[in-house]
Structure 1
Amino acid sequence: MNDRILSKLAANFRDSILSSTEFRGELTIVVKPENIVPICKFLRDDPELQFDLLIDVHGIDMLRSELDRSSEIYSHDDDLDLLLPPGQTEQPAERFQVVYNVWSLKNKARLRLKVLLSESNLHVPSVTTVWPGANWPERETFDMFGIIFDGHPDLRRIYMPEEFEYYPLRKDFPLMGIPGSLTLPKGESSKEKSEK
């Protein structure tokens, strides 16, 4: 099935496919961001492929910090390389990835599509016109990573307040948060509650 998917995509979108890999029988195809919608429509509408179910859309931040190499947790350089795509040892030019997991009910086949985005251009077209179920996962990815889905019908934060200026799942976001960045309502502490 994977060979058939690749051959059909190559025949129709040769210049849009950047790379492909197969791991444990599952195919991952990296495509140009500007072509994600036509590729998704083709995968959904092709009578043989019928990738009719979008399972998930999520973001990945591939940032490597200087702390990675000095951390006690990661004391071996070989371990760090597991965090990067095979053969990559430097900071990626495209820091962010958007990953689309799709499923063909007819063929019982999974496919993973990826687009790579640089920090200076965090725009990718929304696939909500192909799979309406992308609405909330795209909003979550926007809220947590700051990736902008052009053409999304309601792109706004889903967890964080609208006025929050940061993106909590980026690797450069402080582990303990940013003091004072979010005003929380006053309430009783658990200690105060237990004393009642």
Structure 2
Amino acid sequence: MESLSLRERQKERRRARIYQVAIDLFKQRGFQQTTATDIAKGAHVSRGTFFNYYPYKEAVLLDYGSEIVERLHDHALARLNEGAEPVRVLEEVWERLADESARERDLIPPLAYELLNPDPERARVAYQALPLSKVVELILRPLALAGRLREDISLERMCNTIADTYLMTALRWSAYGSERPLKQEMLKALSFMLEGVYRR
């Protein structure tokens, strides 16, 4: 039993090393320029061992994105527990997400494309690894319970649409070289989503 525990710990350490080497190489060389062989060599493992932990290179990015979403979830939960207004919490989460995305501009397109992967299984895995819509749902649920949200659209659909808006805004900003700050673009998109197109 003890040896199994030790083996599991060794596997976790190996995975963590592969992950860190991969992210460092993506940041230094660019995602497209980094190969699985480069990552394996940097982590001192075989190419086959890399694929045992990550079935494709993009899977490393899913771990990276998952860490970001987890931090956003923790921030949102803490702020809601402090009694902060949900819309303000959503804006804070969007600002933090913009900061993270802007810092690693070159990693946004491959991560976003993985969510849009034509292989349904890979797209499903990406969606499950990056539950941004669940963070949005956590924030908006108090408003739904208070009857402050429209009722002709389910909360789940509403949150999925808001999360998708982030994805497309960040992807367009990253891929097409917008000069405007991502934070500004994201907050405008969020405001549009929350207020709609009609003048009141």
TM-score range relative to shorter protein: under 0.3
Q: Under a length normalisation based on structure 1, what TM-score does the superposition of the two structures give?
A: 0.25
Please say which structure displays the higher CA radius of gyration: 1
Give the number of the structure whose residues are more often helix, by fraction. 2
Q: Under a length normalisation based on structure 2, what TM-score does the superposition of the two structures give?
A: 0.25
Give the number of the structure whose residues are more often strand, by fraction. 1
